[in-house]
Structures are given as structure tokens and as C-alpha cells.
A and B are shown apart, each in its own frame.
Chain A
Amino acid sequence: MAEVPAIELINITKTFGEVVANKDICLTVNRGEILSILGENGSGKTTLMNMISGIYYPDYGEIKIDGKAVEIRSPKDAFKHKIGMIHQHFKLVDVFSAAENIVLGLKEEGRFSLAKSITKIEAIASLYGFEIDPKKKIYDMSVSEKQAVEIIKVLYRGADILILDEPTAVLTPQETQRLFSILRRMKKDGKAIIIITHKLHEVVAISDRVSVLRKGEYVGTLKTKETNELELTEMMVGKKVDLNIERKEPVNTKDRLIVAGLRYKNREGVKVLRNVSFTAKAGEILGIAGIAGSGQRELLEAIAGLRRLDSGEIIYNNPKTELQEDLRNKTPMEIRELGVRLSFVPEDRLGMGLVGNMDIIDNMMLRSYRKGKSAFLERKAPKDLAEQIIEELEVVTPNASTPVRRLSGGNVQKVLVGREIAASPTVLMAAYPVRGLDINSSYTIYNLLNKQKENGVAVIFVGEDLDVLVELCDRIVVLSSGKVSGIIDGRNTTKEEIGLLMTKEFTEDKKKKKGGTKE
């Protein structure tokens, strides 16, 4: 094809001090094409994109737009060349409406008028199939709606080269499908789209070509049609990786946690949990599937003693005393004092799991500060634990006294999971433990969970990737609008079956109320 590419990178190199983040990278993207950039955490994907969007400036190399060499020194320059980037972490003002966020920072001609902007926003939305209410406040929006606002914001500024940094990391399968159909429509409209991801099946589903990076170096570009997941993984990791998750037959299963008839209403009076019952057995992994906001978070927090339930009971079979303890309406501390050990990996890892400003050792201490006999804190044990976790889980950090917020997402997750497992729990609850992690890190976490299962721990795993749930879990509880819509055997089920159960209550509710459900 003699077509001039929309954007062309030639031998881009960027170093931060001693570290080479990108080395001699060459890429091209044509108009009307979707290019995936695949690479593990720390392979330099985001650095590369930041150079296109003007946040960093390359040390060597050239960027050509429509065949002409350009200099992009600031986000404003990037915007001038019609490049728009949708960051992984949304940059939106919560109390503003969608429209206010979209026009923020623009200097349009004439008087400031939101009404005019709203008309333009609606035109863009209907062109590409976004479902959005420009007057809705951001704090009322779901993650996928916020993402739509971010994308429209970029389109509103006239961008025709779009870069999406891990856009699907926080979306449900259904939301991902919707995003993909929007991206396909943009592609048809002649936009050049770059999508950063490490989910292989998404790469295969959406992109025309794939460029692979490994440790800052350019490995190669393939046409998506002519490759497969296995080949891509090999390119990305540099060695053969077994994509199958090992699932051993559970042995010595015993009922560990019996949850019966949980009901919970939140502060707004919405029934979040509606008669949830299931049993978690020692020595098996129990998966929990559901659309985001179906009550997963509340369920786990209720078991961990962080929510006061309206009714129901949580019976814990204490392996030491062989007694049955009721965990319901006990504080987390009381649960500990009973000898009941629940390790909990919250969804929002920096918000509830770890303290960002404290270092790894101090974060270890959050679990162990009550140990030790003297009036002073015992620092030796947490320090050893921190170093052990860094070594065993291959956490990338300068040292154990680095503040946690300086670590990348995957490494933060490893620290959190590592700490919870180190408490040698009898029940381990993990909510979205692999969200935003690359393949290698994800498999490290899966292996950790499997090891816990072999050790006779009752593992409760809340996941969003249905492929993983089906492969990893022994049994799967499907939640739908706070109800258990099915408990199925992970060994003989399909993604589609789970997907159907996930939306069961939802469609039934819609029939009843016509107007849809309130989340």
C-alpha cells in the first residue's frame, strides 16, 4: 500500500537516567486502522505513548504525522496535531457534569455557552454510538460512562489519532464489547487508533495489527489475522508460557464458611444483597462472578466484618476448636480475636488495602502491629516479611522502604496479596486481584491462589475475566443484582452460561419495572 501513515515513529529512544525505557522503536499506524501495542508491565508501552501525546520528549528518533516530521513537546502540541490520549486513570472533575468536563480548558470562540457544547457533544455521541447524558454528573456515572466522557472529550477537541491506555482494564465483558463496537465505528470513520493492552483475546478481537514490545525493545509487528495468542505471548514474554491454569482436584474439602440468607441495604436504601447463600469449602477455590456492582464488594466486606447486615448468618467452622462461630455483626477485631482468620484483598487496593505513603515494611506492620510484647513496635519481623515477599513474588522496587504508591499497579498488588497470604489464613478472599496486571504477574497470582487451595485454605475469588474464572475455580457463584442466580461447577461450564446467569436478574427486573434497575 502506498498510503501515507497517519503517524510514524522512527527509531524512538528514551532513557530515564540509567534505565532505557524505549530503544529504537519503529511503529506505523494508518488511518482507518486499529493497532494494538502489546507488552508486559514495564515494557515501555505507556512511555512510548506518552511521547506521542507530549508528556515526555524522546532522546532520539523522529515522529512523522502524515509524512511530515513533527516536534511534540507538550500535550498542547499533541492536540494541535490532532492526537488524543485516553489515560488509564480518568482525569475528570467529579462534581462537574459530563459537558463541563468535556469543555474544560478549551478556549472556544464567542460567549461561554454549555447549551451549544451539549449539542456538539450529542452529535459526536450519536455518530459513534455512545450512550451518554451530557448533563449527568461524573459522580453518578459508572466506570464505562466515565470512559465514554474521556473519549468524547478527545473527539470534541478534533482528535483523529486516538491512543487508549488499557481501556478495558476496568470494564465488564459487556462494556468491553460496547467499547469495541464504538472503536470499530471510529475506524470506519477514518481515525487511527492505538490501543495498549495485555489481554490477548482482546488484541485478537479488535486490532488489525499488533506491535509487541519487550523490556523497552521493539520485537515486531504482526497482522492480527496471521497470528494467534500463543505466538503473541511468546513474543511478549520471550519464552513459551503455558496459558492453561493448572487446576488440581480439590482434596479433603470441608465446609469452612457457610453463608446463609444474607440481606443488606446500603445507605441509600438500595437492596444490595438479597438473600445470598453459599458454602465455601476448605481446599477449593470458589469463584464469584457478576457484573460490576452486583454486590460482590458488599458481600466480601460483610464477611470481613466491615458491613452491618440486615439479616442472615455467616457460620465459620473453626478448624482448631471444631466449633461453629457466627461471624455476623462482629467487628474485624473481634473476628481476629476469635481466632478466625480472614484475609481480605479489597478491590480498591490503594484505598483500603495499603497506605500509599507508607513503605512496604510499614504496610506489613498494619497487619502485625499488635504483636510483640514491649511498648515499642516490633520492626524486625515485618522487615523480613517485606523482603521475603519482594524476593518470592519478584516485586520490582528499589528497596523495602519505598513508599507503596511509587510502585506500579502490578507490584502493589503483589505486595498486598503477599501480605494477606503471609497471615496464613484459613479463608482467603480476593477481589479482582489481577485487575490491571500483565500475564506473568497474573499467573503468579493464580499460582499463589492455587497453592493456598492446596494448603487447605478456602479461597474466595472475585473475578471479572470469565475465561479465568472458568479455568481457575472449582465452583462459581454467580451474582446478579445482589441475588445468587446460580452456583455452577467450574469444570463443566462455559463462559456463555455464566454470562447469561450474570444478567438474569437484571432482565427479569427490567420486565417488572420497565424502567430498568437502579444500581
Chain B
Amino acid sequence: MLVQFIQRAMMQGIPLLLGSTGEIITEKAGHLNLGIPGIMYVGSISGVIGSFIYETSVGPQNLNPVLAVLIPLLSSIFGSLVMGLIYCVLTVTLRANQNVTGLALTTFGVGFGNFFGGSLIKLVDSEMPSITLSATSNIFRTTLPFADKLGVIGDLFFSYSFLVYVAIIIALVASWILSRTRIGLHLRAVGENPATADAAGINVNRYKYTATCLGSVIAGLGGLYYVMDYANGIWSNDAFGDRGWLAVAIVIFALWRPHISIIGSFLFGGLFILYNYVSVPGAGIEVQELFKMVPYVVTLIVLIFTSMRDKRENQPPQSLGLSYFREER
């Protein structure tokens, strides 16, 4: 039971981890991308569209495993990259308000996903309001062959699909780049004080574009993981839920550090599904909703503590949310 809970918590945490890592990279460049929930949604539906086209054209039995992974992966990356580019053009080049742009992108992304999701559901004409891509999902969910033989250790650490390890590696690498390399130093300078970075000869806009687009792609992978692994290849509209916002909340919880975000994501993942494992006698379905609130309450508590401690390193990047214009005094 406990092992199963931890497993589920980790799987629940992966989309959050990818989303929050993407958002951290973006925010370190000084851009508060509230479009992340929408971008994850688009990343998800783009993967579904890609795999749907592939699966229906060759038939579920004749899938080439490499292509079955690559096609959804690339379509997902393409989808979220386009979303990231839209955000960049608006906020970096045209210096639009980041909050408004981000919220608009989220609304757009969810609508985009539901539109194509709904269209595909209509195409297959199924009984249920969902699309099932179990063949592709099975390939995505291939685990390490020796995991079963290692007992509890195997269950806890090796029983996952490749995207789980990819997510953790991305977070660790992002953390290392941000804190230990010259590129990371420059990126942080851009987010803290773009004028200073500019004067030091750093190409501010290039860093902003790269970080934001890369962040979007990473977040989009979270959406892909959700539908292909977690949901066993079943797409139904709005099933993705609040995960995007939870990812944004984890950024604050992790104090803008991707490696803390790993712990944060698994913790939040656990809190997110806690209601399935804790039964309160005599409580109805409404108590579930209270349990689902817990992650947000935790975020609030973290915010209170970091604000009280007032340590400068734990604060958001200084020019987060502000657009940079060289000629402005």
C-alpha cells in the first residue's frame, strides 16, 4: 500500500516536475510565464494528435517502437515551442504585459486542446468521450526489464518509464547549469538586472528567447507524460486539471531551484492524490476537495516563511515580470 502510494505520488509528480522546471528556467530569465498550464495542455494534445495520426495510418498492431515514441515526442515539442515563441514575441519583442499574455495563452491553450481533443473524439465516434491510444502508451510505459526482480527497491526506483528519468535528469542538469556554469550566471543576470547584463555584453533578448522557449518545451513534455504514461494513453477533455497551476506553485515552493523542485513535485504529487489513500469516516466527496487544497496551502505557508525570513537569495528574480527596453532610463 505505502509502496504503491509512493509510486503513484512519483508518477503524479512528474508532470509537475517538468512544468516547474520549465517555469523556473523561464522565470530565471525574468519572464513570469503564466501560460505554462496552457502550454502543458498544448504539449499534451499535440502529442496525442501526432500519435493518433501515426496509429490510425499504420494500425495499432504494426507500430514501430522508435517512431511511436518519436512522433508524439516531436509533435509535442513542436506544439509547446510554438506556444513559447508566441509568448516570446509578445513579451520580449513587443514588451506586452507578461501576466496578461500568460493568462491569455493558458485560456487559448486549453481551448485549443479541447477543440482538437473534441474533434478527434468525434472522428473515432466512440461510446466514451475520450480517445484511447493504448498501443502508443504501452510503448511509452516500457520499464526497465530487471525492475521486477529487485523487490521493493525495484518498485520504488526502477519501475518507471523513460520520461520519468528524463524529467529528473533535466531538473538536475538545469540546476547545475543555473548555479555552476557561465551560461547560468548570464541567464540569472538577465533575470535579475537586464540593464547590467546588457552593459556586460550579454545578448539579453537571445537569452530571454532561448530560456523561455526551452522552458515551454520542457513544460510541454509534462503534458505529454501525463497523457501517455499517467493516463495510459487516454485523452479526455479537461482531464489534465489544475496540474499546470500546481507546477507554477512549485516554482515558489522550490525557491527557484530545479533540484528542490524534484522533492517539491513528488511531495505535491503525493498531496494531490492523498485523498485516495486517507479515508475520513463519515466524510463525503466534498472532503476530497479539501484534500486537493493541501498543496496550495503548503505553497502559501512556504510563501509566508520565505517572506518572513526575507533572505535575498530566496526571493524571485528582481526584474521578474518586467520587460526590458534599453533606451529607457
Using CB atoms and an 8 Å cutoff, list the residues of chain A in contact with chain B.
Answer: 75-76, 79, 91-96, 100-101, 103-107, 112, 137, 139, 405-406
Complex interface: stretch among B97-105, B193-201, B286-294: B193-201
B196 x A92 contact (CB < 8 A)? yes
Contact of A91 among B185, B188, B199 (CB under 8 A): B199
A95 x B196 contact (CB < 8 A)? no
Chain A nearest Cβ from B201, distance in angstroms: 4
* Chain A residues with CB under 8 A of B195: 91
B312 within 8 A of A: yes
B329 x A93 contact (CB < 8 A)? no
* Chain B residues with CB under 8 A of A96: 185, 188-189, 192
Contact (A91, B196) CB under 8 Å given A76-B201, A100-B185 = yes
B313 x A95 contact (CB < 8 A)? yes
A406 x B329 contact (CB < 8 A)? yes
A104 x B185 contact (CB < 8 A)? yes
In whole angstroms, how far apart are the Cα atoms of A76 and B192 in the complex? 22
In whole angstroms, how far apart are the Cα atoms of A405 and B313 in the complex? 29
Contact of A92 among B180, B185, B188, B193 (CB under 8 A): B193
Chain A nearest Cβ from B147, distance in angstroms: 37
In whole angstroms, how far apart are the Cα atoms of A177 and B180 in the complex? 38
Complex interface bits, B160-172 against A, C-beta within 8 A gives 1, otherwise 0: 0000000000000
In whole angstroms, how far apart are the Cα atoms of A386 and B239 in the complex? 59
Across the interface, name the chain A residue whose C-beta is closest to B328.
Answer: A405
B186 within 8 A of A: yes
In whole angstroms, how far apart are the Cα atoms of A381 and B182 in the complex? 55
7 extra interchain contacts, Cβ-Cβ under 8 A, other than A94-B312, A104-B202, A105-B201?
A92-B193, A94-B318, A96-B188, A96-B189, A101-B196, A103-B182, A139-B312
Contact (A104, B189) CB under 8 Å given A91-B199, A112-B182 = yes
Contact of A94 among B181, B185, B192 (CB under 8 A): B192
* Chain A residues with CB under 8 A of B318: 94-95
* Chain A residues with CB under 8 A of B315: 95
In whole angstroms, how far apart are the Cα atoms of A320 and B195 in the complex? 51
Contact of A112 among B180, B189, B199, B329 (CB under 8 A): B180
Contact of A75 among B188, B189, B193, B201 (CB under 8 A): B201
Contact (A112, B186) CB under 8 Å given A92-B193, A94-B193, A406-B329 = no
Complex interface bits, B40-67 against A, C-beta within 8 A gives 1, otherwise 0: 0000000000000000000000000000
In whole angstroms, how far apart are the Cα atoms of A107 and B329 in the complex? 28
B199 x A75 contact (CB < 8 A)? yes
* Chain A residues with CB under 8 A of B199: 75, 91
Chain A nearest Cβ from B305, distance in angstroms: 16
Sampled A-B contacts (17; CB under 8 Å): A76-B201, A79-B201, A91-B199, A93-B197, A95-B312, A95-B318, A96-B188, A96-B189, A103-B182, A104-B185, A104-B186, A104-B196, A104-B197, A105-B186, A105-B201, A112-B185, A139-B312
Using CB atoms and an 8 Å cutoff, list the residues of chain B in contact with chain A.
Answer: 180-182, 185-186, 188-189, 192-193, 195-197, 199-202, 312-313, 315, 318, 329
A93 x B312 contact (CB < 8 A)? no
Chain B interface SS verdict (over half) = helix
* Chain B residues with CB under 8 A of A79: 201
* Chain B residues with CB under 8 A of A94: 192-193, 312, 318
Closest 6 CB pairs of A and B: A105-B200, A91-B196, A112-B182, A105-B201, A104-B200, A93-B192
Chain B nearest Cβ from A20, distance in angstroms: 21
A93 x B202 contact (CB < 8 A)? no
B193 x A105 contact (CB < 8 A)? no
In whole angstroms, how far apart are the Cα atoms of A405 and B328 in the complex? 10
Chain A nearest Cβ from B300, distance in angstroms: 22
In whole angstroms, how far apart are the Cα atoms of A94 and B201 in the complex? 18
B201 x A112 contact (CB < 8 A)? no
Chain B nearest Cβ from A165, distance in angstroms: 13
Contact (A105, B202) CB under 8 Å given A91-B195, A91-B196, A93-B189 = yes
B181 x A105 contact (CB < 8 A)? no
* Chain A residues with CB under 8 A of B202: 104-105
Among A79, A101, A139, find the residue whose CB has the most chain B CB atoms closer than 10 A.
A101
In whole angstroms, how far apart are the Cα atoms of A79 and B193 in the complex? 21
Chain B nearest Cβ from A382, distance in angstroms: 24
* Chain A residues with CB under 8 A of B313: 95
* Chain B residues with CB under 8 A of A137: 312
Chain B nearest Cβ from A390, distance in angstroms: 20
Chain A nearest Cβ from B97, distance in angstroms: 15
In whole angstroms, how far apart are the Cα atoms of A333 and B266 in the complex? 50
Among B181, B200, B315, find the residue whose CB has the most chain A CB atoms closer than 10 A.
B200
In whole angstroms, how far apart are the Cα atoms of A125 and B179 in the complex? 26
* Chain B residues with CB under 8 A of A107: 182
* Chain B residues with CB under 8 A of A75: 199, 201
A112 x B193 contact (CB < 8 A)? no
Across the interface, name the chain B residue whose C-beta is closest to A76.
Answer: B201
Among B186, B196, B312, B313, find the residue whose CB has the most chain A CB atoms closer than 10 A.
B196
* Chain B residues with CB under 8 A of A104: 185-186, 189, 196-197, 200, 202
Contact of B192 among A95, A112, A405, A406 (CB under 8 A): A95
* Chain A residues with CB under 8 A of B185: 96, 100, 103-104, 112
In whole angstroms, how far apart are the Cα atoms of A103 and B200 in the complex? 9
Chain B nearest Cβ from A125, distance in angstroms: 20
* Chain B residues with CB under 8 A of A106: 200
* Chain A residues with CB under 8 A of B197: 93, 104-105
In whole angstroms, how far apart are the Cα atoms of A405 and B327 in the complex? 13
In whole angstroms, how far apart are the Cα atoms of A75 and B329 in the complex? 18
* Chain A residues with CB under 8 A of B189: 93, 96, 104-105
Chain B nearest Cβ from A254, distance in angstroms: 44
In whole angstroms, how far apart are the Cα atoms of A426 and B182 in the complex? 56
Chain B nearest Cβ from A497, distance in angstroms: 40
Across the interface, name the chain B residue whose C-beta is closest to A406.
Answer: B329
Chain B nearest Cβ from A482, distance in angstroms: 22
In whole angstroms, how far apart are the Cα atoms of A405 and B312 in the complex? 27
In whole angstroms, how far apart are the Cα atoms of A112 and B180 in the complex? 8
Chain A nearest Cβ from B154, distance in angstroms: 38
Chain A nearest Cβ from B195, distance in angstroms: 6
In whole angstroms, how far apart are the Cα atoms of A100 and B202 in the complex? 14
